[in-house]
Structure 1
Amino acid sequence: MPDMYTFQSPNSAIKSENGSTPRFTPNILPCRIHHDGPIDSTDRFWTPLTDAKGTYTSTYTDDSLICNGILIDLVNLDNTHSSYFRGRKLRGRRVAIPEGYTGIVATPTERVSQQPVKNSSAEDDVAELEEPAKVLEMQGGFDDIMVWGHEVLPAADDPYVKGIEEWVRFAETMHGTPAPVSK
């Protein structure tokens, strides 16, 4: 059986200087990277940058921005993004997390929750105690994600775009309280 996890509020060490939780922008790349862990320098491989206006001060040619020899993400006028990864052009779009939801970046720990998790099924009305859930520690949050595609923008039927824009609303409809029917 897979491990069960529970969230734990961030500890004070995670708070930034201004007292808020750090904010991130997850990037979903159209490739498989056979590595799961930290690397020495992310700047060498992936450096999307924008300033407060969403513009760049470095020089660029065509749709490429080169800063210190690194190709950088560009924000286009239509609020799409372009970048290059290992020589291939990527085009991306931001997908907002629906209102009422929060994106969380968390890491698993070996700590165990103090409260046991109950497992109940439709066939069995008796709840049995499972093994204690491991703690996921919150590292930060996000309000949107960047979904990237090779040469083209991810369309509305992209599984990640669809999952956020359609399936969340569908799940709310399925599990929400039905609205009263007026006659």
Structure 2
Amino acid sequence: MLSIRPSNPQRCIPNLLPARINHNGPINDAERYWKPETDDKGKRHSYFRGRHLHGTALPLPNNYTGAILRVTDQQLPQSQTQPQQPPADEDDEDAETEESIPVEVNIAEQVGEFDQVIVWGHGGEVDGSGDAFIRGMSEWVGFAESMHIDEEEKDKGTKPGGNTV
């Protein structure tokens, strides 16, 4: 489980590329490798490894904020850790007799935040109905909202607010 530590996150726009990059560290001269541009029609274009890519903006819903997290090795002290696994059901014969099991909670620092993602594709803009990432995001948001809606909000027809992706 993670506990998000508030910080001064930088605004950013994540880019989902149709490529596998076997590197996970900083790049000294990022503009040399990645320089997206917007043409006079408002279309996003870039070249990566000699391939022409077209970008499609995928905005997050109004009540959501995307977060870039850096997971640390630090753990939240047990006294501040509230979630614990509930005791086993009385009808469960295989359950152990422990009252509760403490949950380890690592601390994650929020280093960035965003309100949209750019999805890049080859040969044209990415089709929302055919792209697994775009479909997954819209389905996940709908699923998350249906799980976290209160009965009162459900009756009123309002949506929950302040969610983080």
Normalised-by-shorter TM-score class: 0.7 to 0.9
* Residues 42-96 of structure 1: per-residue CA shift (max 9 Å, x gap): 1110123xxxxxxxxxxxxxxxxxxxxxxxx23451x331111111111111111
Seq. identity, %: 34
Aligned partner of residue 134 in structure 2, secondary structure = helix
Shift of 1:102: 0.8
Structure 1 pair 120–150 and aligned structure 2 pair: CA distance change class (3 A): same
Cα deviation per residue 1:116-136 (whole Å; 9 max; x = unaligned)? 363436964854212x32211
d(CA) in 2 for partners of 1:94, 1:122:
45
Tell me, which stretches of 5 or more residues in structure 1 are unaligned?
16-20, 49-72
Match of 1:7 in 2: 4
2:140 to 159, 164, 167: 167
Residue 167 of structure 1 aligns to a residue in which SS? helix
**Which of residues 59, 74, 92 in structure 2 aligns to 1:96?**
59
Q: TM-score, normalised by structure 1?
A: 0.68
Residues 99-118 of structure 1 mapped to structure 2, 5 A cutoff = 99-114=62-77, 115-116=80-81, 118=83
Aligned partner of 1:142 in structure 2 is 114
Could you tell me which runs of 5 or more consecutive residues in structure 2 were left unpaired when the two chains were aligned: 91-98, 157-165
Residues 150 and 29 of structure 1, relative CA distance in 2, 3 Å threshold: same
Report the TM-score, using the length of structure 2 for normalisation. 0.74
What pairs up with 1:21-170 in 2 under 5 angstroms?
21-48=9-36, 73-75=37-39, 77=41, 79-114=42-77, 115-116=80-81, 118-120=83-85, 124=89, 127-130=100-103, 132-157=104-129, 158-170=131-143
**Aligned equivalents of 1:172 and 1:127: distance in 2?**
29
- Aligned-pair distance for 1:166? 3.4
- Call closer, same or farther: CA 1:41–1:120 in 2, change over 3 Å: same
Question: Could you tell me whether the CA contact under 8 Å between 1:91 and 1:151 is conserved in 2?
Answer: yes
Q: Which has the higher contact order (CA 8 A, sep 6+)?
A: 2
More helix by share: 2
Distance 1:121 1:47, change over 3 A: farther
RMSD: 2.5
